[in-house]
Chain A
Amino acid sequence: GAGVSQSPSNKVTEKGKDVELRCDPISGHTALYWYRQSLGQGLEFLIYFQGNSAPDKSGLPSDRFSAERTGGSVSTLTIQRTQQEDSAVYLCASSRGTSGYTDTQYFGPGTRLTVL
């Protein structure tokens, strides 16, 4: 595709509900990343996928957060029992996944999550 796409662009939910955020990476990109952008915390790394596997989940803030990737393409970030502190912009990025330092990440427009 032309770029990384994310849906929905905005999501308002009530505290305690589950939400799913979707990311479609650039076609052919094997690496996929999720970041969170929130006031006071800046941009934080959440999770990385190479293909369908996630070798690094170290950035997930709690066990309420999970992510999966199927077919080496689309990824879904799920937040269970949402809390107000989960309100943030969730950004997805993809890269070619080539080994080494020169792999550049390209970002989607983000999903703005508001938990009431």
Chain B
Amino acid sequence: AQSVTQPDIHITVSEGASLELRCNYSYGATPYLFWYVQSPGQGLQLLLKYFSGDTLVQGIKGFEAEFKRSQSSFNLRKPSVHWSDAAEYFCAVDFFSGGYNKLIFGAGTRLAVHP
């Protein structure tokens, strides 16, 4: 069955520190992967996506993610975190069936940033 696991429910980092949010997926076919960010009281904003090609993808706000098929992972990284990055982050796999796409989300990782 298709699933997404985000092992870390909460992460706290200091401003300026590097960040890595983990995501592991289970999917029978070639996965199409997304990271979304949700600020308090807001909807989901697309950070980046992986469909094919280069396994290191760049997104908005200085984020990047690396697809590793051998590890079934799609971890999100940022070299230097800003206080405005405090939010909840969701990894998702695109389950394509019946001619349309349905996103399957992980449980989310809530990021806190200390000054």
Which residues does A use to contact B, with CB under 8 Å?
A: 4, 6, 31, 33, 35, 42-43, 45, 48, 50, 55-56, 91, 93, 95, 97, 99-110
A109 to B105, Cβ gap below 8 A?
Answer: no
B63 at the interface (CB under 8 A from A): no
Stretch in contact with the other chain, from B54-62, B69-77, B79-87, B94-102: B94-102
- What bracket does the count of chain B residues touching chain A fall in? 20 to 34
Q: Contact at A56–B98, with CB atoms within 8 Å? A: yes
Measured CA separation A97–B42 after assembly (Å)? 24
Q: Are A43 and B98 within 8 A (Cβ)?
A: no
Q: Which of B42, B45, B90, B101 contacts A103 (CB 8 A)?
A: B101
Q: Complex Cα distance A48/B97, Å?
A: 12
Q: State in angstroms the CA–CA spacing of A6 and B41 once bound together.
A: 13
